[in-house]
Amino acid sequence: MVATRDGGFRPCEGGPYRLPDGTRGLRALSWEGVETIRERFTALSPYDRAIVPGSLLKLEDENFTDATRNARCELWCYAVSEKLYALFKLDARGEPVIRKYASHVLGQYRSPIRGDRHDWIIDAWKREIRIALGKPAQAFAWEAYPAISQLTLTTWNVFEPYRENDRLRPFDFLAVGVLNRSAIDLAIEEVAGG
């Protein structure tokens, strides 16, 4: 749900409404309105209230500024699709601070950096958000590295192209390089003399 402290219309590219300045937007619920909806879902809970109290609609920890869940904060969303998004807030300098992100697409790739395997995903989201906010963004050193994903040989269709390799067995893992479509196009142009 899109919600702000007081609700109302907010700018949103592709939103269903036109705001007074002509930009597209959407209607955000107030936090009070969200709580009213959450409360209505409490009656639908099939669970014993003593074991699972409250609403079926969970208010995620990212919506709060502290572990006690007393102080809420407004989050922004940068979404590419339903499973490719980042929730963030802006710090005092206007820089994005990622609170939650989807790694559905990027998570299939092996980390191009040492350390926490998701640091690079967070950095990629921050850069994309900076670009969307009109701020300068630097290229990453690892952008020149090949994108590597893991292929699990789980079915015959996946295993079949590798069956001549006597070192592979079903359910083995392979590291697979992922080609960028534009790189393929450039290679074709180069071969064709273009």
Work out the angle at residue 74's Cα, subtended by the Cα atoms of residues 73 and 75, and round it to the nearest 5 degrees.
Answer: 115
Neighbours of 105 (CB within 10 A): 12
- Residues 110 and 163 both lie in one domain: no
Verify that 90 and 26 share a domain, yes or no. yes
Q: pTM of the full predicted structure?
A: 0.71
Same domain, 105 and 14: yes
Looking at the structure, tell me whether residues 181 and 121 fall in a common domain. no
pLDDT of the residue at 191: 62
Q: Do 137 and 48 have their domain in common?
A: yes
Pair 52, 139 in one domain: yes
Interval 54-61 mean pLDDT: 87
Same domain, 57 and 139: yes
| Count: domains in the chain | 2
Q: What range defines the domain where residue 167 resides?
A: 147-192
**Residues β-bridged to residue 174:** 151
Same domain, 82 and 30: yes
Over the stretch 36-55, which tens digit does the pLDDT of each residue have? 999 999 988 899 989 988 88
At 51, give phi and psi (nearest 5°): -95, -45
Question: Do 63 and 112 sit in the same domain of this protein?
Answer: yes
